[in-house]
Chain A
Amino acid sequence: MTPPIQPIMVRCPTCADEFLWQGNDPVFRYDEAISDYEPIDLGRMSESRVATALREGYRKCPNPSGDATEHYLPATYWTYPDPLVIGLVGAPAAGKTHLLTAMIWAAYQHALKPYGIETSALDFHRHHEFERLYMRPFQDGGELAGTRTNVSEAVDILLMRGPGGTRPVTFFDVAGEDLERSSANRATRFLASANAVIFVHGLEDPPEEGRPAASNTAWSFELAVERLRGMPGGVDRIPAVLAVTKADRKRYVPPVDRWLRAAPHGLDAGLIRDQTRDVYAYLHHAGQTGALRPFEAFRRCTMHFVSASGKDSVAVDPGADRTERHFPRGISPMHVLEPLVAILAMTGMLDGPEARKVGR
C-alpha cells in the first residue's frame, strides 16, 4: 500500500468515471510472461524502490459505475493535476492511426523541444506495445491497419513537461465505425473524458479499382460534435483542431503546397490563423464543407494541412491480387505535430500571450 494522500476527485480517461482517489490503493506491475497485472507489495520496499515501482507500476480503476471491463492506469497518473486527454475523431480510413503514430513518434523524437516541451512515456507497457505494433512498422515503410473498433483503451499515455507544468497526455484513437453506431458506446464515453479533440479529415482521391471508397467525414464529425454539445461545457469547454491528412496528394497545389513546404517555426498564432483560413477556403471550394463542422461548432479551433507519411502508399505487388500496400522509399511525415502544438497552446501546456491567441 502507498501512503494515503488527501482524497482528490479524479476522472478515469478510459471509463470516464469520476471518483474520490485516496492514493492508498494497490499498485500492480505488468507481467509480460503472463500478459497480466500482478500486485506489488510496496510495504517491504525501500523508499527509492517504491518510487521506481510507482513510476513503472499501475493502479486498477475502480470503475464505480461498473460498466467497463477491468482496466489499469499508470500508478502515478492521478498524482498529476489536470491530465490531458486527446481523442482523434474521423471517418474510417481518414488517416487517424497514421497521423497519431507519426505524431507520437515525432514527440518521442524530441520534436516538441523547440516549444519547451519534453516528452517521455508514462505507461511503459502501453508505449512498448504501441511502438512494436505501430511506430516500428510505420518507420519501416509499412501501411498500418485502420483503427480497431470497440477498443476502449488509450493508444499511448505520455508525460509532457513544459511551460504549463507536467501533465499526462492520453491519446484515444476512436474508430469511425464506433462513432457511427447509434447506441451509447465507448466512443461516447471517451468524448466525456476528452479535454481536446483532433478531428481528422483525409483528402481522398476517387477510389482506385478494387479499393473501397472513402467514408463520410461529415457524418462522423456531426455525431461527435452533437454528442459533445450535449455534455456540460461541451464545445465551449474543450478546444478542437482539424487535421487535413493525406495533404501530400495536393503538395504541388496551392494553398496546400505553401503549408507543407513551410519551414519550421515557433508558436505563431498569426500563422496558425493564416493556415486555418487557407484550410477553410480550400475545403469550401472543394465542397467538403462537412469537414468544417468542428470549426463552426467549437469556440476555439484551428485547422492544419498535414501528411503522416509524406507520400501515398503503393501496392506491394501491383500485379498480384492482393491489397497489401507500403511506402517503398520510407515515410517522411510533414507537419504532423502542428495540430498537437495547437492543442497544447489551447490547453495551457504552452504558456504566454501567443499561446492564448491560438484558435481565437
Chain B
Amino acid sequence: MAETMTVRIRDIWGQPREVELTDTGEFTTPGSILEQRLVQTAKPAMLIRKYVSRIAGQRNPRLYELLDHEIRAGTRLGQVYGGVCPPELPTLVGYDMDAEEPFALLLPYEGEPVVNHLSRLQSDDALRRTFQASLIRGLHRAGRAGVVHGAVLPRHVRWDGARVQLVDFDTARCADLRRPGGAAPPRLDVREDLAGAGMIIRHLTIGTSAIGSLADHARDPESLRALLEGVFAPVDQRPHAVELLRRMGADASLPETTDPERDLHAGWALFDSTTAPRTGPPPPPTGSARKFSRWLGLLILATLTFRGGPRR
C-alpha cells in the first residue's frame, strides 16, 4: 500500500496549509522536462505532482528554475482567474519550492496529448477549426494574465475532442503587472506565443511538410494565409490572439478576472496622502501607480487598434 505523507504547501497567494498526499504512480506527458507523479488527496481526488528530485537537481540545477517558472505562471493565472483557470490552461493548486525535492501540485489535465490525434485533426476540417479556435483562445486567456508560455509546441498541447489545454509552463514568463517609471513598454509581449500556435495550425492544415518551412508560405492555401497573416512577423508586428479569434469568427470572450493587486490600492492611496506633506506634491504617476486595469487597458487598446485597422 502506498505511503501517505502530510506535506506543507503554499497556495497561489502564498498561504501555507497542510495536505495529505498518497503517491499513486507515474505520470508521463510528451513535453514535460520535469518529473511527474500522480498523487491522491482528499479533495480533489487526484493531482499531478511536478517535482525536481534530489538526483535530477544535482545533475541539472536548471530544473529548479523550470519548476519556478511553472509555479510562477500557475500562481499568476490562478490569481487572475480567481483560483480555477479557464479549461484551456492548467490550474495550480499549491507548491513547495523550499523542500529538498520541490514540487508543484496541479489539477489533472484534460484530454490527451494532441500528438495522439494529429491524423484525425488533419482530416476533419470542422474538428480542426474547433481545435484552432480553442488553441488561440488559450493563448488569449494566458495573455490576459500576462503569461507567455514560451514553447507552444504540439507536445505541450492536449486535446479532449472539443477543447485544447496548453500545459507544461516550465518555460513560461510573466509580464510585470506594473513597470517602474511607467513610460517604458512591457519587455514581455504576449504575442510571442502566436508563432508557435501558427506553426501547429499550419502543420495540421497542410501536413508534416509545414514544420520548419516558414519561407514557403506562398504555397499555403489562401484561407490559411489569411488566418495566419502577420503571425510569423516580428513579435511587435504580430496580431493579438483576439484578432485571430475574430478572423476565425470564434468566441473571444474572457472569463471573469481579478486584479491581483486589488488589495493594495487603499494602501497606495494612504501612502500618497501620508507622504504628500513630507515630500511636497506627489510626483507624476510612476510605474507603481499604474493599476492592473491600466496595464490591461493598454493591451485592449492595442487589440482594438488592430481590429479597427486596415486589412491587407
Contacts and interface: CB of A to CB of B under 8 A. Distances in A.
Interface of A: 205-206, 208, 248-258, 270-271, 274, 276-278, 280-285, 296, 299, 311-314, 327-329, 360
A234 B64 CA distance: 46
B286 A274 contact: yes
Contacts of B100: 314, 328-329
B271 A280 contact: yes
B293 to A, nearest CB: 14
B10 interface: yes
Given A258-B176, A278-B288, A311-B98, 18 more contacts: A249-B10, A249-B16, A250-B14, A251-B97, A253-B14, A257-B72, A258-B178, A270-B283, A274-B287, A277-B268, A277-B271, A281-B264, A281-B268, A281-B270, A284-B271, A285-B267, A311-B97, A312-B98
A206 B14 CA distance: 12
A208 to B, nearest CB: 7
Nearest to B16: A205
Contacts of B178: 258
Contact of B288 (A249, A274, A327): A274
B166 interface: no
Contacts of A250: 14
A44 to B, nearest CB: 56
11 contacts: A252-B10, A252-B95, A253-B260, A254-B177, A254-B264, A277-B272, A278-B288, A282-B264, A284-B266, A313-B98, A360-B278
Nearest to B78: A252
Contact of A284 (B177, B180, B270): B270
B263 interface: yes
Contact of A280 (B14, B16, B267, B279): B267
Given A257-B72, A278-B288, A311-B97, A206 B263 contact: no
Interface of B: 8, 10, 12-14, 16, 57, 64, 71-72, 75-76, 79, 95, 97-100, 176-178, 180-181, 260-261, 263-268, 270-272, 274, 278-279, 283, 286-288
Contacts of B12: 252
Contacts of B97: 251, 311
B14 A360 contact: no
B127 to A, nearest CB: 37
Nearest to A329: B100
A91 B36 CA distance: 41
A40 to B, nearest CB: 49
| Max count, chain B CB within 10 A of own CB: residue among A249, A253, A278, A360 | A253
A254 B279 contact: no
